Structure 1
Amino acid sequence: MSSTLFSVDFGNYDDPNSSTQKLKEAVQGVSTSLTSPNLADYFPILRIIDPQGLKKRAEFCFGKLLAIFEDLINQRLESRQNGSPKKNDLLEALLDQREQYDISLKEIKYILFDLFVAGADPTSGVVDWVMTELLLNPKEMSNVKNELRSVIGDNKQVEESDISRLPYLQAVIKEVFRYHPPGPLLIPHRAEADIEINGFMIPKNTDFFINLWSMGRDSSLWPNPDSFEPGRFINRKIDFMGTNYELLPFGSGRRICPGLPLANRMLHLMMAALLHNFNWKLEPGMTAQELDVSDKFVLSLRRVVPLKAVPYKL
């Protein structure tokens, strides 16, 4: 994610004092602040005193992240002034278009902030769920790995152009979107006028949520909804681009998630690389029956106990 946005690799977690670890902690802090139950939402008079300290914590974490992005922007501006070669990333593209579209540096900073926070947390959560389900379902794991071996070969790395030739991998990710939607309630919507839906009158200005988690487990929409069955998507023209309403992990219409194209590429490439290059097993002493698959909703749907999987080569 960081390489795509600003050509910096934040994938090193060895040093607890590194910028990577600080960034991870800041993202987690933003996620916790945004999703923790807040008494002030129910009793507005409490907003002034912030009894749980959520506003103070949110401001600290937001400020920490924004400072990191501001520093990256300033470094890039200095690099451009010194005549250094241009980078092939989103930050460079935004700076190139800044004058033509009248984009301020502040707006660029907040665009990077939105994309990184909204993209990093749900994406890593989906990877966790995909690996969990495949480890719990060895047959599905074998099907995916066989497809990768057949299409890609043993000595070649997966590229973006290969994704369209990997229907079973696509089916696995669709099944995870159905069974463990990263945004189980989507973004809140508001009725712009009084409207009747299925005999229910929805008054104007009503806030409402789309319960994707429940839809994904609805037996009238999905046969065997509580079973992980990627094969249900094979030879079926159903995608998650917003036109098939039974599968809407990114929403639909004008409010569809703007990060869909990026998430689509990143998820398939990451999962293909992880599964093609390594075999996987649970941590020593852990069996599939002991694996805790209970979930919790933070900024996205996550496992209560994150997966620990061990890669190995045969």
Structure 2
Amino acid sequence: MRRVQAARFTRGAQVDKLIENLSCVGRNPVAIHEHIFATVDGIVGAFAWGDTYAAEQFKDEFIHVINESLALLSSFSTEDFFPGAAGRMVDRLTGLVSRREKIFGMLDGFFERVLDQYMDPARGNKPGDDSSRSNLVQELIDIWREQGATKHITRDHVKAILMDTFVGGNNTSSVTMHWAMSELIRHPAELKKVQDEIRGAVGDKERVQHDDMPKLKYLRMVVKETMRLHPPATLLVPRLTTRQIKVGGYDIPANMKVIVNAWAIGRDPNVWENPEEFFPERFQESDIDFNGAHFELVPFGAGRRICPGLAMGVANVEFILANLLYCFNWELPDGVRGEDVSMEEEGSLTFHKKIPLMVVPTRFRMSPK
């Protein structure tokens, strides 16, 4: 939570930029997912790299490498289904192995350059300086160096953590907000209810502040309901059984890969009443949360391997979404009705809207009392 709190300034600065950009579009429809992704990317980038991420050349190169990596991770591998020499041979013949090695080299080389830059004595960025307080790269390097000979965290671990920060932080948060805005624009009553709550709690401020967030109970329900219906990672990170077990009458051997379908759990009619319906009020009298304690709702997983970015991801989603709903009134383009908004899914590692949501924002300002 300390790291989440440390990112408050960056989160606020990026949201200010988002509000400014949307305030300039007039009555023109906008692809809201593009604005949301740019905001999340700015927050996560500044959180991880500090001022370095502001350089356009750095950002463009990194996003290109990450996109190539995601495409590879979601591609078909014969060895996944036929482990052993035969599967590896097919992957070599199809070119998957050479492509994997090439992209790994690009990604590893990128992180190597970043670490070399941060470890350059001429940089003058010392631990504890204000300039490094929200800089994940610097903190990971400090932890790595302080361990000395124990080496519980190595240089490769640092690079892997940075990779996971972007893969898990950027795409999943922006996808969740895209789905939330899509559901709300299709359900005007729920949209009005959450906007009334936010505007009643915030008052006449220019935007929502971090201190306002604990007051927004219905907004939290909207986020929960969005993650129930549209978990960004429909299939959670695979697990491995440590011993033979029996589940639902089936014998599961030890060392067996287990894949959990969070999408199916969230829509299970044995657990949820009217599971296909967007109904945030279902959480009104329920203590079910996505913190890993309730297996009915597991968009972040559960147990010791629950998503380590849960707190940061939720803070970003709720704060950005609160400001979008507070600062603007939202309409569909002329001639488009709520029922016309497509909710078709598309994707591999993450499931996003196949057809992006186009909406018209109108700047809202609280009337003086």
Question: 2:240 and 2:143 mapped to 1: Cα distance?
Answer: 33
2:294 is matched with which residue: 244, 264, 276?
Answer: 244
2:219 is matched with which residue: 169, 177, 188?
Answer: 169
Shift of 1:233: 1.0
- Give the match for residue 25 of structure 1: 64
1:47 is matched with which residue: 65, 76, 88?
Answer: 88
- Give the match for residue 145 of structure 2: 99
- Give the match for residue 46 of structure 2: 3
Change (3 A) 1:230 1:156: same
Pairwise mapping of residues 1-314 of structure 1 onto structure 2 (< 5 A)?
1-8=44-51, 18-42=57-81, 44-45=85-86, 47-48=88-89, 50-78=92-120, 81-82=123-124, 86-89=131-134, 90-102=136-148, 103-283=153-333, 286-314=336-364
Question: 1:46 and 1:62 mapped to 2: Cα distance?
Answer: 20
Question: 1:9 and 1:128 mapped to 2: Cα distance?
Answer: 28
CA contact (8 A) 1:240 1:249 kept: yes
CA RMSD of aligned residues (A): 2.7
Letter in 2 for 1:34: L
Question: 1:273 and 1:255 mapped to 2: Cα distance?
Answer: 31
Shift of 1:299: 1.7
- Report how many aligned residue pairs link the two structures: 310
Shift of 1:126: 1.0
Secondary structure in 1 matching 2:295: coil
Change (3 A) 1:136 1:83: closer
Question: 2:61 and 2:54 mapped to 1: Cα distance?
Answer: 12
Question: 1:189 and 1:87 mapped to 2: Cα distance?
Answer: 35
Alignment TM-score, normalising by the size of structure 2: 0.75
Shift of 1:105: 3.8
Secondary structure in 2 matching 1:114: helix
Q: 5+ unaligned residues in a row in structure 2: which ranges?
A: 1-43, 365-369
Shift of 1:52: 4.1
Shift of 1:227: 0.6
CA contact (8 A) 1:35 1:299 kept: yes
Deviations 1:198-225 (A, max 9, x none): 3222222222222221121112211111
CA contact (8 A) 2:175 2:352 kept: yes
Q: 5+ unaligned residues in a row in structure 1: which ranges?
A: none
Question: 2:52 and 2:193 mapped to 1: Cα distance?
Answer: 32
Question: 1:4 and 1:235 mapped to 2: Cα distance?
Answer: 36
CA contact (8 A) 1:121 1:299 kept: no
Letter in 2 for 1:97: I
CA contact (8 A) 1:179 1:216 kept: yes
Deviations 1:57-94 (A, max 9, x none): 44444444444443333333337643685322222322
Secondary structure in 2 matching 1:309: strand
Question: 2:303 and 2:327 mapped to 1: Cα distance?
Answer: 37
Deviations 1:239-278 (A, max 9, x none): 1111111011111111211111221211112212222222
Change (3 A) 1:159 1:7: farther
Alignment TM-score, normalising by the size of structure 1: 0.87
Question: 2:362 and 2:61 mapped to 1: Cα distance?
Answer: 29
Letter in 2 for 1:94: L
User: Structure with the greater relative contact order (CA < 8 A, sep ≥ 6): 1 or 2?
Assistant: 2
Stretch of structure 1 that moved more, 221-230 or 115-124: 115-124
Question: 1:265 and 1:66 mapped to 2: Cα distance?
Answer: 30
Shift of 1:180: 0.8
- Give the match for residue 6 of structure 2: none
Identity of paired residues, percent?
32
Secondary structure in 1 matching 2:200: helix
CA contact (8 A) 2:52 2:58 kept: no
CA contact (8 A) 1:122 1:301 kept: no
